[in-house]
Amino acid sequence: MEFLVQLGRQLDLNALSETYVASFSSDGDVLSQWRAYGMDGDGFAIGFRPQAFRAQLGTPMTSAVPEHTVGFLKVHYDNEMLKKKSQQFFDRHISAEQNGNNIIECSLKLRALALSFKNPAFREEDEWRVCYSPLITTHLEKRDLEIVGMLRELRFRASRYGVLPYFHMPFGDNARDDAIAEIVVGPKNVSNDNLLKMLLLSLGYRKASVRRSSASYR
């Protein structure tokens, strides 16, 4: 019981270091995705090449090493797998020596599970996530922020949930030319394909293709 109490305290402390997430789908042409995220079919799906992002495969950490703070994760939708992994973590850590390092290690593993598992009802999204875990410290006396991590440009936007912070993530060095693989035009979108190709070329995305959604609203 004492281990669980200490673990709860550690998780509360970890909450002070937020994780920022950008979500992507492996399939760029799914009707439910168009309805939920693509302006009800009037929008676009942008297909990125994963290597364009400066993100390593794996769970990010709040670290003084900038490269460790950004990670690229596959999302799983298997509740049984989640239960099994959680049970393994608790069995191993509760039976181990009760010390601070053990508690911290367990909390980090539980955090990794939280980032990489989702309710099976969302399985159709086939999601990948770019996750960023900076350490943000507010210096009230200096009226300043200190951000430890790969990305330093903190921005804010208005949403229906209030003001939300986010980070601008640039592409890696020399990645702009082929960062975008394709643009999928929504099933209700009437944009001209040739104009879209001209737009991509003007922005430097020379290897991107344009295709129409195969989804139908009828």
pLDDT tens digits along 24-38: 999 999 999 999 999
Q: pTM (2 decimals)?
A: 0.82
Q: Residue 136's beta-bridge partner residues?
A: 147
DSSP 89-115: HHHHHHHS---HHHHHHHHHHHHHHHH
Residue 110 φ/ψ, nearest 5 degrees: -65, -35
pLDDT in tens, 74-95: 999 999 999 998 888 777 766 6
Sheet strands side by side (includes 209-212): 44-48, 180-185, 209-212
Tokens of 22: 């950008």
Q: Average pLDDT in the 37-45 region?
A: 95
Quote the percentage of the chain above a pLDDT of 70.
85
**Does 63 score more than 70 pLDDT?**
yes
Sign, Cα dihedral of 111, 128, 25, 66: positive
CB 186 within 8 A of CB 42: yes
CB 171 within 8 A of CB 52: yes
**DSSP letter assigned to residue 142:** T
Tokens of 15: 């909450």
Q: What is the pLDDT of residue 94?
A: 65
